[in-house]
A = this chain, B = another copy of it.
Amino acid sequence: MNLPREILINLFHEMLRIHKVQLRIESLYHLDEMKTPIHLCIGQEAVAVGVCAHLRKDDYITSNHRGHGHFLAKGGDLKAMIAELYCKETGCSKGRGGSMHLVDVAVGHFGSSSIVSGGIPIGTGLGFAIKRQKQQRVSVIFFSDGAADEGVLYESVNFAILKELPVIFVYENNQFSVCSHISSRQWGELIFHAIPREKMFTQIVDGNSIMDVFEVAKIAVDRARQDQGPSLIECKTYRMRGHAGSGSDAKLGYRTAEEIAAWEAKCPVTLFRHQLLSEQVLTEQEIAEMDRDIEAEIEAAFRFAQESALPREEDLPLYLFKE
């Protein structure tokens, strides 16, 4: 696929930005100032970026506990996200949600659930609202293999096809749910790939290849926008860090150092970086500038978060209901 330079650069920039945000969070987590359980998406940057690149501000996404990448790729406010990790009043969820519960209605992010699979039917319902209101929008649902264990996926896929909803199920198959390999939980390939293409477009892609994800996501998004029904994209990828918290978890022994190393070599950001350099889309220097700009933005976001005020104890009762 031959893409205009600015698109390529933008894709790289988004991935690099997410990657760097994750690294910064990780590097500061040991200070215990972010008192919230974090789930880093290092290694999975291409999925969120490749899909969201096709989305408009008023399209919808629903996300899960590992949602930093989804949030940022959809255009969520970085300052508000970091402030949420610090549980500050200026956080996107006013410090009530923490890392697993991000929201940014302004960009169509209606909240991430830390109940695995919880966001799947909700995203399907957002697609239903789009259809009923005859909007040209798309609802994208991000979930991983643990969520694919849950029957609610079967129920949601059925409804999405039944009502021909503009919903895209983005299955980030990183093969693990905490320390359980998918093979100890599922008998084989996701059965929904057997659904006839005219009912639901489904495809398996290399989730670490931004180009592959981008290409297939385009088909799905166009389909949804033209009211041609739902799609399911399975992105084979890998979580580079431990399930929760910071650092590698190789020591736990549920996956081999070799396996981790093999995937490290497939880092989506590095791969794309090399591609863009070799194709001379970008120069080392341009990338270095990009690095600097992103670092500065991240620096500012963390300063904003650290300087923001904490929620006041007396405000505990607020926000239970919309009055």
Contacts and interface: CB of A to CB of B under 8 A. Distances in A.
Contacts of A161: 187-188
Interface in A121-171: 149-155, 158, 161-162
Interface of A: 149-155, 158, 161-162, 185-188, 191-192, 194-196, 199
A154 B148 CA distance: 10
A276 to B, nearest CB: 40
Nearest to A163: B187
* Residues of A contacting B: mostly: helix
Nearest to A152: B151
Contacts of A158: 149, 186-187
12 contacts: A149-B155, A149-B158, A151-B151, A151-B152, A151-B155, A153-B154, A154-B154, A158-B187, A161-B187, A162-B186, A188-B199, A191-B191
Contacts of A192: 191
Contacts of A155: 149-151
A24 to B, nearest CB: 39
Nearest to A185: B162
A93 to B, nearest CB: 29
Contacts of A151: 150-155
Contacts of A186: 158, 162
A115 to B, nearest CB: 14
Contact of A194 (B153, B154, B194, B199): B194
Cβ-closest 10 pairs across A and B: A151-B151, A194-B194, A154-B154, A161-B187, A151-B155, A162-B187, A151-B154, A151-B152, A191-B191, A158-B187
Contacts of A153: 151, 154
Contact of A191 (B149, B185, B195): B195
A311 to B, nearest CB: 37
Contacts of A191: 191-192, 194-195
A162 B199 CA distance: 27
Q: Which of A152, A155, A187, A191 has its CB near the most chain B CB atoms (within 10 A)?
A: A187
A67 B151 CA distance: 25
Q: Which of A152, A158, A186 has its CB near the most chain B CB atoms (within 10 A)?
A: A158
Nearest to A160: B187
